[in-house]
Amino acid sequence: MYGWQRYDSRFAIPVFNENNEILRYNVFHAELLIRHSEDKKLYLYDIVNIKKEASTPLEQ
């Protein structure tokens, strides 16, 4: 009931050029380490195993 769990997550960060236009996105994969406490709250403890995924150009 209480303890630790790992969740897989993906997130992207945009890369801009000098005109503030989005060139592409850097996509990352990470594991979130979450603690379940006795007060029934979830706490983000750590983000581990962050890896950048192979990128493909943004098509418009």
For residue range 3-50, what is the model confidence (pLDDT) as tens digits? 899 999 999 999 999 999 999 899 999 999 999 998 889 999 999 999
Tell me, what's the pLDDT at 2?
A: 79
- pLDDT for res 60: 54
Query: In what side-by-side order are the strands of the sheet with 3-16?
Result: 3-16, 22-36, 42-52
pTM reported for the whole predicted model: 0.65
Pair 27, 45: CB distance under 8 Å? no
pLDDT at 54: 78
- Position with higher pLDDT, 53 vs 29: 29
**Residue 18: its pLDDT value, please?**
94
Between the alpha carbon of residue 6 and those of residues 23, 32, 39, 40, 41, the distances in Å are 32, 5, 19, 17, 15
